[in-house]
Amino acid sequence: MSRKRGRLFVISGPSGTGKGTVCAELLKEIGNEFSVSMTTRGPREGEVDGKDYYFVTREVFIENIEAGNFLEHANVFDNLYGTPKDMVLNRLERGRNVILDIDVQGGLQVKKAMPEAVLIFILPPSLAELRRRLEGRGTETAEKIERRLGQALNEIKLIGEYDYYIVNDNIDEAVALAKSIMAAEAARVPEAVKPIIRDYENESKQK
Ligand code: 5GP
């Protein structure tokens, strides 16, 4: 069989929906790779440069925008975040599935640049539950929580641009659904069907 090009998956959803956990589980599957973003946000405790993010200054980030190095970039809660383009394209070319954990603004830019990307939206069961989860983390001030809840609603309003949605009220079920979506998408007949047909033609000629 000819080597398949990988698929690009965008996973978005308000912070506190369990998006990170879903991504971490998907990455345990063979063939899936995570795209490491660049950000101007400072590292949190335990975060590793080059693994969680490439942590850079605003100047370096802007140089990268000007050089056209991003597939998408956005301002999220006053920090800049961007997806390095070459890294994503190289991996897809090598037949790997690439997972982007990015916000909705970024997701929409990816869809525009690469319409074949599969966009998955992770929803909280309710805003009240989202509030409980954000408060439970204990990392945010009350003011920041209000801001995140307002932002969550703004993001949810754009769900119509996405291909799939997952309501995360049980993390195991949410992960299982995300895996099913990825499996179904891997079996979708691609735009470029010639390589598939060629394999069978070659086999037929060899007889
Ligand atoms: P955090 O700072 O908590 O790691 O991420 C904040 C938000 O930024 C999350 O919603 C995350 O999905 C989003 N994000 C992370 N990397 C990127 C990126 O490269 N591009 C965009 N547009 N959003 C990103």
Q: What is the pLDDT of residues 114-161, one digit of tens each?
A: 999 999 999 999 999 999 999 998 878 899 899 999 999 999 999 999
Q: Which whole number is the average pLDDT over 167-180? A: 96
In angstroms, rounded to a whole number, what is the distance separating the alpha carbons of residues 185 and 49? 31
Number of helices followed by number of strands (H, E) in the chain: 8, 9
Strands (E), the chain: 8-12, 32-34, 37-39, 53-55, 70-76, 79-84, 97-101, 118-123, 164-167
> What is the pLDDT, as a whole number, of residue 3?
62
- Residues having CB within 6 Å of any atom of ligand 1: 15, 37, 41, 72, 74, 76, 81-83, 101-103, 105-106
Q: Is the pLDDT of residue 166 over 80?
A: yes
| Main-chain phi, psi angles of 87, to 5 degrees | -60, -45
More confident: 191 or 198: 198
For 89-101, what is each residue's pLDDT tens digit? 999 999 999 999 9
Residue of 37, 41, 147, 148 with the most ligand 1 atoms within 8 Å of its CB, for mutation: 37
Residue-level pLDDT at 42: 95
* Per-residue model confidence as pLDDT tens digits over 37-77: 999 999 998 999 999 999 999 999 999 999 999 999 999 98
Q: Which of 23, 65, 103, 109 to mutate to test the pocket of ligand 1 (most atoms within 8 A of CB)?
A: 103
On the question of pLDDT at 4 being above 80, the answer is no
**pLDDT attached to residue 191:** 81
CA distance 207 to 102: 49
Model pLDDT, residue 138:
82
Under CATH, to which class is 8-35+96-205 assigned? alpha beta
Euclidean distance between CA atoms 6 and 88, whole angstroms: 10
Give yes or no for residue 192 having a pLDDT over 90: no
Higher-pLDDT residue of 67, 188: 67
